[in-house]
Amino acid sequence: MKIIVLMKEVPDTYGERKLDPETGIADRAASDAVLDEINERALEFALAHADRNPDTEVVVLTMAPDSATASLRKGLAMGAHSAVHIADPAIVGADYGVTAEVLSAAITRLGFDLVIAGNQSTDGASGILPAMIAETLDLPQLTNLTEISLDDSIVRGTRATDEGVMTVSAALPAVISVTEALAEARFPSFKGILAAKKKPYEMISLSDLNITIDDLSVPRSILIAVAEKPPRQAGVKVDDQGDAGQLIAEFLISNLLA
């Protein structure tokens, strides 16, 4: 079984995140870049499957600037067998359409039985890409899975939706996305970090995928304006002297909130 895990590098949610006021693109210099936590959980699922099924091959795939190498290498250090990194000056600020097209082409080139993504990336909170890739490659998508069972031919999972809980299944190949209900990721071991240095790490560009994205007739998302909002200020802070419950009630009532 060959599993491709889609990895995205994002601004660390623990830091202050900034957007470039001109382009609206993440200001990479302003905050640390890390692998999105949800992608580490997705990789953990793939690696745990590989632990139980030694004929499993796990490839980590990203579309990101050159600088994302360290993040993708972390995936190798955790245990992925190889990494593919699509980097190209043309894809800076790519919209969903471009991202889906490029990742789909790379996925096809690699060959696969299962593609695993995170349910949503923390810098976009869109959760769009897995379905776009599924449509582009004519695959079933099973998104937002909280539990997964996988064998050689079928993937089945429990899916939390806004209306209830669903059991879904599909024959492989398929695209799935996972939620943070899945197990936290393992830490890379020292041995893993050393081994990662010898693992295949392929950098590819759009021309390797035979893709050009400069056709102006193709609709693209464009940014019209970006405005930073002033940070919120702290208000009153009181130590409870035995009457704090009463004070909050008065505050709420005087502000017509209760």
Partner 1 sequence: MTDFASDSILVLVTVTNDGQLATSAAGLLAAATSVGTPIALVVATPEQAVGAAAEAARLGATTVIVVEDARVSSVLSVPIVDALCLAWDLMNPDAVLIANSIEGRDVAGRVAARRRSSLAADAVGVSRDDEGVLVHHSVYGGSYDILSATSTGSIVVTVRMGAITAHAEPQPLVIERLRHAPSNKSAATIESFTPAPAQSSRPELRGAATVVSGGRGLGSLANFALVEQLADSLGAAIGASRAAVDAGYVQQSCQVGQTGVSVSPQLYIALGISGAIQHRAGMQTAKTIVAINKDADAPIFDIADFGVVGDVFTVVPQLIEALEAKKKQ
State the Cα–Cα distance between residues 57 and 200, nearest whole angstrom: 13
Q: How far is the CB of 84 from partner 1 (least distance, A)?
A: 21
Task: Confirm or reject binding of residue 211 to ligand AMP (CB under 6 A).
Answer: no
CA distances from 196 to 55, 129, 189, 199, 241 (A): 19, 28, 10, 5, 57
In the numeric block, which tokens belong to residue 49? 């499957």
Order of strands, sheet of 82-86, starting from the edge strand that comes earlier in the sequence: 154-160, 141-150, 174-178, 114-118, 2-6, 57-63, 82-86, 201-204
Task: Confirm or reject binding of residue 118 to ligand AMP (CB under 6 A).
Answer: yes
Task: Confirm or reject binding of residue 40 to ligand AMP (CB under 6 A).
Answer: no
Task: Confirm or reject binding of residue 22 to partner 1 (CB under 8 A).
Answer: no
Q: How far is the CB of 232 from ligand AMP (least distance, A)?
A: 26
Near ligand FAD by CB under 6 A: residue from 122, 136, 146, 158: 122
Task: Confirm or reject binding of residue 47 to ligand AMP (CB under 6 A).
Answer: no
| Phi then psi dihedrals of residue 44, to 5 deg | -55, -45
State the Cα–Cα distance between residues 68 and 21, nearest whole angstrom: 22
Binding mask 6-25 for ligand AMP (x = CB under 6 A): xxx-----------------
Task: Confirm or reject binding of residue 248 to partner 1 (CB under 8 A).
Answer: yes
Task: Confirm or reject binding of residue 104 to ligand AMP (CB under 6 A).
Answer: no
State the Cα–Cα distance between residues 121 and 123, nearest whole angstrom: 6
State the Cα–Cα distance between residues 143 and 117, nearest whole angstrom: 9
Task: Confirm or reject binding of residue 146 to ligand FAD (CB under 6 A).
Answer: no
Binding to partner 1 (CB under 8 A): which residues in 172-191? 174, 179-181
**Which parts of this chain interact with ligand FAD (CB under 6 A)?**
13, 37, 122
**Which parts of this chain interact with ligand AMP (CB under 6 A)?**
6-8, 36, 38-39, 62-64, 99, 103, 117-118, 120-121, 124, 126-130
